[in-house]
Amino acid sequence: MKTLLNLGVIFIRPRRAGTTTQYKLEGGISTGFKSGKADGTLSARQTADELLHNVDIALETLINDKEHAANVEFAQSSCDEVIADFVGNKYVTKSGTKLKVVDAGNMKFNVSGTIETIKPLRTIEVNTTIR
């Protein structure tokens, strides 16, 4: 563990709390906290990154389609399905997580909006291009 911490690796470690085992981050710090509180909160940032990764996978098949402008509705629907999964698993809030997909031309989609995580409660602004 000490070697991993010295290398800057963040990992999850089981800890006993009474009669139950809880899994906690070991070495959970981030220099991103200086520029944005949401980035400094690792679990919120990881949740947002995972949600956006799943959106990227969902939109991948639509990116190479020739009728790109017509696929914006399908892309938005796919994005909404990913958000619904995260809401259902209680990772993000339904009211605070809204992503809008627009055609960026040249086989790209722009995704913008907010992701609000459940715990810790943080709102992360999103403005990215998926190619």
DSSP structure class, residue 131: -
Contact 131, 105 (CB under 8 A): no
**72 vs 24, more confident:** 72
For 90-102, the DSSP string reads TSB-TTT-EEEEE
**Tens digit of each residue's pLDDT (9 = 90 or more) over 70-97:** 688 889 999 999 999 999 999 899 999 9
Please state, as a whole number, how many other Cβ atoms lie within 10 Å of the Cβ of residue 38.
19
**Tens digit of each residue's pLDDT (9 = 90 or more) over 45-69:** 778 888 988 998 888 878 776 665 5
> CA-based diameter of the chain, in Å?
59
Length of the chain: 131
Rounded Cα distance, 29 and 42, in Å: 7
76, containing H or E segment: helix 72-88
**40 vs 77, more confident:** 77
